[in-house]
Amino acid sequence: MSSPAASPPTPPASCGLKILWDDRLVAYDFGPGHPMNPVRVELTMALARELGLHDRANVRVARFDAADDKLLRLVHEEPYIAAVKHAGETGLPDERHGLGTPDNPVFLGMHDASALVAGASVAAAEAVWTGEAEHAANISGGLHHALSGAASGFCVYNDPAIAIAWLLDNGAERVAYVDIDVHHGDGVQAAFYDDPRVLTISLHETPRTLFPGTGFPNETGGTGAEGTSVNVALPPGTGDVPWLRAFEAIVPPLLRRFRPQVLLTQHGADGHALDPLAHLTLSVDGQRTAYAALHRLAHETAGGRWIVTGGGGYELVQVVPRAWAHLLAEASGAAIPPETPTPDGWREFVRLRTDEIAPRRMTDGTSVVEVHRWGNGYDPASPVDQAVLATRRAVFPEHGLDPMTDE
């Protein structure tokens, strides 16, 4: 087992972070029994507050405006926006637009709640692009499955795609999007499949075993944008060490070659072993290791301009709040030591809010996660190495990179 190779310079000890938050974000709620319960973001923000993240001098929690129709039209078709409004006003389904399905039940106020999520991600993009903040976060966002004309996979408006489109509309020439949700970031890929200005990278469970059924290595970008859609389809059961090996084999070399002006990352926590909807076996510690790697890459390749969103994650108490509290702490430049106890006040809030027993520490007990570097050799018998090599062969030559080596 090899230890991690030398890393690029450590990010500044105290990065400026703007957190976009409004209590009204919990109105994005598909109702009782739906996996995407907004209590997960409520518990995350409560944990961040109890850990003192909001009190750090370099962290600012700010409100924002909902996305208006002009912003939504950067990605979504006008008839679809009208359909979302109508469904949210009447409660009536419109399955032609993906509204009223088991994944996306209609709820009253659907448009307003969804536009608020999108507005938070656009505000994060604006803060980073204008230099108001070095990093910005919308943990309620990351709704990466929404398509231009339909809701899909618990997602109504595609806030990451709207934020990227806003950046392009305001002068950005190269934007990179890295998606570490267990599900393929299909909606963001579709929005920019033919646009060479946007590099999308998605690491996810293979679509052979998981929704949405897309995200194969041969999905590499449209004409004129070859190599800008990157998909790593990992086998069920992939845990921390092989997942991080795949990440290190794909993400750093492509970001270094693409040199984005802004890095936007989606942090679905549903790759965790406890998540009820998928089949990877990451720990919170493996996830926080990925957050730190993305933070370093933002400073190394994108001038420190980093936008982070949440995403999936359906273990509402044990996983999502800890994972995303680690994410916010990492983005602030002062990571939370994994052995840190969860605050007593937060555990009591969890008990009162959910009637569940909260985890006692910020770690799953695997706080030091080593990485097997790709440059140390390819194992043809490893299903993860096979998946990585398929992706490298599909896209690395388009970037002038060797699929077999780190050069």
3-state SS class at 235: coil
Q: Report the distance separating Cα 116 and Cα 122, nearest Å.
A: 10
Q: Is 339 helix (H, G, I), strand (E, B) or coil?
A: coil
Using CA atoms, how far apart are residues 274 and 288, in angstroms rounded to an integer?
A: 16
Beta strands 229-234 and 59-62 are unpaired
| φ/ψ of residue 8, rounded to 5 | -60, 170
Q: Which helix (H) or strand (E) holds 100?
A: none
Please report, for residues 12, 336, 339, 359, the alpha-carbon distance to residue 364 in angstroms, rounded to integers and kept in the order given: 27, 14, 9, 9
Angle between helices 320-331 and 39-50 (to 10 degrees): 50
CA–CA separation, 71 vs 115, rounded Å? 9
Active site residue 399: no
Residues 6+ apart with CB under 8 A from 239: 273, 280, 281, 282, 283, 286
Contact 72, 162 (CB under 8 A): yes
Cβ-contact 302, 176 below 8 angstroms: yes
Exposed, middle or buried by CB within 10 Å (0-12, 13-18, 19+), for 361? middle
Pairwise CA distance, residues 152 & 210, whole Å: 14
Do the beta carbons of residue 177 and residue 368 sit within 8 Å? no
| Helix, strand, coil content of the chain in percent (nearest 5) | 40, 15, 50
C-alpha–C-alpha distance, residues 242 and 239, integer Å = 6
| DSSP 8-state symbol, 114 | H
- Which three-class secondary structure state does DSSP give residue 200? strand
User: Active-site residue among 145, 184, 299, 326?
Assistant: 145
Residues annotated as catalytic (active site), given as ranges = 145
